[in-house]
Amino acid sequence: MQLRLDPLLPESLAPSISSACQRRPPPTVIAVCSADPLLSDEACTVVRRVLREQGFTERESDTPDRSFDWRSWLANAHSPSLFSARRLLELRLPTGRPGIEGGKTLIAWAHAGSDQAMLLLRLPRLDRALSGTAWFSAVSEQGVVVSAPDMPSSSLPTWIAGRLKAQGLSAEPAAISWLAARCEGNLSAAHQEILKLAFIPRANAEEPITLEQMQASATDQARFNPFTLGETLLGRDAQRSLRVIRALREEGEALPILVWSVAQACRRLPPDQSLPALQALARIDTMVKGLSSEDPWMALERLALSLARPASMQTS
């Protein structure tokens, strides 16, 4: 069963989770897939609350590494609780790669879990590589998959306005737009700034927060996801593309990841646009490997500007 988290209304996930847990046979596992820490946390919070209401009051959490004993975990998962409570067993898999033994264990649990325990998996973004694994297929077939995709930048002002309202606050449109630009790609930072605003004294707390007040309170928290750079460039917004590339450079992101991300996106373009872009990326790759004296970052910026031009100008 597949569910989708609405980042603007995370609590709307609760009825769907509750309904899914009432089906027969009940799910053995709930997987939350997201690359954003805040959305993942909020989805898991909703899942925990729903399960607590259904009697899963004992919680155990692990983050498996290479030395993790999957056999012992499975034996413990099937053993009864010492306190006669139903248990919520959480596993964090930041890479989405449990290994061979872990994959076999997850398949076994998905097909033959326990009515006294529920497995909550915290996974990265749901992509083709993850969804194509045998263990994830078993989880999807026997359990519930909650996907929390990255929030598009166009939705961020609405999200910020909603979070401000939840804190009893409001802000001028210019202030909201400014915070959205400063924290783009980092919902956790935006959330923290909003919480901080609630404790800052103002002459008239009933008035909307002004741009000047927002600027005085907030700090630059922009953080961009290297894996979505390709989508950014295909947005054809030259100013934003350059801002993202320069921010990633300052953060020390590895260029091979950026080249891969852009190449994946460019392959979806029409042939007359994808071929020149992929050729440019091949040249950038030689720069990254030290086979050319050119600056790969500057070359990536030139590619971003090229992609931002209308298709008619690119072929003229």
What pLDDT tens digit does each residue of the chain (316 aa) get?
A: 889 888 888 888 999 999 988 888 889 999 999 988 889 999 999 999 999 998 998 889 999 988 899 999 999 898 877 776 789 999 999 889 999 999 999 999 999 888 889 999 999 988 888 989 999 999 999 999 999 888 888 889 999 999 999 888 999 999 999 998 888 767 888 888 888 887 777 778 788 999 988 887 765 555 677 888 888 888 888 888 888 898 888 878 889 989 998 998 899 888 888 999 999 999 999 998 888 788 999 999 999 998 887 544 444 4
What's the pLDDT at 84? 64
d(CA 224, CA 251): 9
What's the pLDDT at 315? 44
Q: How far is CA 307 from CA 267, 270, 286, in A?
A: 13, 12, 20
What's the pLDDT at 186? 79
With 0-12 / 13-18 / 19 or more C-beta atoms within 10 angstroms meaning exposed / middle / buried, residue 237 is: middle
Do the Cβ atoms of 118 and 51 come closer than 8 Å?
Answer: yes
Length of the chain: 316
What's the pLDDT at 298? 92
Report the 10 Å Cβ neighbour count for 206: 8
> Using alpha carbons only, what angle is made at residue 26 by residues 44 and 83, rounded to the nearest 5 degrees?
70
Rounded to two decimals, what is the model's pTM? 0.66
* Phi and psi at residue 252, to the nearest 5°: 80, 25
What's the pLDDT at 312? 43
What's the pLDDT at 119? 95
